[in-house]
Chains A and B, each alone.
Chain A
């Protein structure tokens, strides 16, 4: 199986502080992966590098069947290549309606002129309604996103990610601020999504990770400390030492 995303030997330092240090990581086209690690382990920087927000000092980030390097691409180009990212804090456009938010995220040509010529069609309206139904916002399509509750915003953002139809989803702490029931729902969704695409979940919450029941990568000081099932890495003394033990 060829990897969908192949990160090898990546390093990045900020003012001498090595946020990422020789990190290597790879994920297949349909796989669920949890990335855990203590604060400052480089989880966020790792996502920043993959999505093009931060350029690494060294290393390679290769994408897709044709092993295209992502390092030369802008954030928007990487997003169009099929990498979606969900932020820790829900970031939706509060001043626009749920339907507008979803419409904007729908997979379509992204250039300014293509967008100017874009017209809503029956198909696009149906797709928006379907996505809203998926994330439980069917009733609130005409409402402004700012009127939604925190959890609903999380769902809206997930809906927007789905609308993008990414091949790789990077999810930053999805469980934060969710009720138990919502967590359950999220777990199910993530597992379902991972059947057709790659999903990387960055998470603090061990319970949540356990529920995901997937391969786990432990980061520490900017590099991979251990990788395997949760039980496997939990048994690793080093991991216990730096993270789980505390």
Chain B
């Protein structure tokens, strides 16, 4: 409607053209009132040439909104009507013109051309959109006739559209092939939508393959298509009689039971398929049932006919070009998806790294497996949730939640160490079980406090959305943030271990506890701090994971096995090993998902199997602790 008002305004501004329009309308009044498809073309051309305001008239005509009132042409707008030439409101009875669909098609084509040369760029863009949505061969001519668009962006679009339509509608095959080849390197969805139908095939069965058919592939029954399927094609094409289905046979047999026998075969023997055939054949011989095609006949029918997929597009040159173009396109898309996948794997690896780093510290430094590590992750996530319910601002609450989670889980770790782990020194398996007991208790406590339903931990607005690279590759901002967080922790860990007193003491205790103790280092205190540190990092990982996963009491157990795998695969006591382990596991999981995208369960199964096999060859992980100590 806005277009219409706009053009009406322009109508007032250009009275000279209005005169033309009025003349053309008057001159062709009869034709316009009673249009016929054969003769209307010159009228429409004349109208189209009558200046830009004529567009409104044509549009209205095509929409069955053009009418006559008191001998004047009016355009109906809802309940009102305006004069088609002057734009003045008209009262009175309006007789609306009803052109048939053939005429409307011709009007539409003229209208497109008209709109394509409209002075208003937004109308020209709208016209292009309309063509891109639904097009037929008349549009191709219109596009070509419209010439170059003054707006460079629109000109590009128009040229592209023209080439797409050339592929579909140009009568000259060479022009179509050229157009396809001109698109080389393009991966646009519109191009795919044009190319794919060109390769549509139908499956036929015939005594011989028609000479003019554009054959996609000839099919050998039994190899390329199942024999049953091939025979079904024959039946559908009327080239062979339908075979007797077991159900039909059974029905026919049960319909002809005579004194406990069918065709001379006792009913009790009919559980044998061979006996059923005998009975049926006997019935067929006396004409009670139609004879069924035998296996030999079916075989002969299959070998006597040929089966093929035939392109709907008869020209082989075009289908070849389209297939080449689509293959190239698939290749490029594959490359882009690989890049996307690499990013996905990277973010997954950072999550595993975050989840595993605390575990690696406690396991690597103290040789203690903390089965409750997953529950520390969960504790961190719930801390984040609680902080968020207390502090309104999301950014602020996140800033508070990170250290809060660290403190909570650090304290939990220290308490766990003092109460349990220090009493189980040198009994790794019992530590594993005791911490497991704690893990079931913690999980249930969380369930009792927070309920079983998932709690949201909402990310601040600036972490929502995604960062894009190119058309297909994009990665959500949260995942980038987690990657950054993982890097920060790597840096932090390296700094603590290599640059601080604590790190020095930790390394001393790891290498030789007795010697360290004699140097005045308290191994118990160091172990406690290390354990607290590992647990604290788990808490922060929990906040990070909670930002994109639902916070439930099972959050930790979802990650614990992968975390263990990361540590075990990476090798104990080496942060770079943990990093390599996380990268391997993240990459492996994503990689397997590509091979079998529909089935993430299968991906996980295979990943675990691969890891079990990997452990066979590197029992001490990717980066093992080396030296004589390792051999002992």
Contacts and interface: CB of A to CB of B under 8 A. Distances in A.
Interface stretch (B535-543, B560-568, B624-632): B624-632
Contacts of B626: 14-15
Interface residues of B, number: 4
A201 interface: no
B631 A53 contact: yes
Contacts of A54: 631
A45 B626 CA distance: 16
B631 A19 contact: no
B535 to A, nearest CB: 32
Nearest to B629: A14
B518 to A, nearest CB: 19
Contacts, number: 11
Contacts of A48: 631
B629 to A, nearest CB: 9
Interface residues of A, number: 7
A54 B627 CA distance: 12
B9 to A, nearest CB: 88
Contacts of A19: 628
Nearest to A48: B631
Determine chain A's interface SS by DSSP, over half rule. Answer: mixed
Interface string B616-629: 00000000001110
A15 B631 contact: no
Nearest to B630: A14
A168 to B, nearest CB: 22
Interface in A44-92: 45, 48, 53-54
B620 to A, nearest CB: 14
Interface string B127-138: 000000000000
Contacts of A53: 631
Interface in A194-232: none
Interface centre among B626, B627, B628 (most CB of A within 10 A): B628
Interface in B588-632: 626-628, 631
Nearest to B628: A14
A224 B548 CA distance: 65
Contacts of A15: 626-627
Contacts of A45: 628
A54 B630 CA distance: 11
A14 B631 CA distance: 10
A206 B626 CA distance: 34
Nearest to B626: A15
A231 B188 CA distance: 92
Contacts of B627: 14-15
Contacts of B631: 14, 48, 53-54
A240 B627 CA distance: 31
A19 B627 CA distance: 11
A39 to B, nearest CB: 13
A15 B626 CA distance: 7
A168 B627 CA distance: 29
A14 B630 CA distance: 10
A108 B492 CA distance: 58
B585 to A, nearest CB: 28
Interface centre among A14, A19, A45 (most CB of B within 10 A): A14
Interface string A8-29: 0000001100010000000000
A71 to B, nearest CB: 16
A14 B628 CA distance: 6
A53 B632 CA distance: 9
A53 B631 CA distance: 8
B308 to A, nearest CB: 62
Given A14-B626, A19-B628, A54-B631, 8 more contacts: A14-B627, A14-B628, A14-B631, A15-B626, A15-B627, A45-B628, A48-B631, A53-B631
7 contacts: A14-B626, A14-B627, A15-B627, A19-B628, A45-B628, A53-B631, A54-B631
- The 10 A-B pairs of least Cβ separation, nearest first, read A14-B628, A15-B627, A14-B627, A15-B626, A54-B631, A19-B628, A53-B631, A14-B626, A14-B631, A48-B631
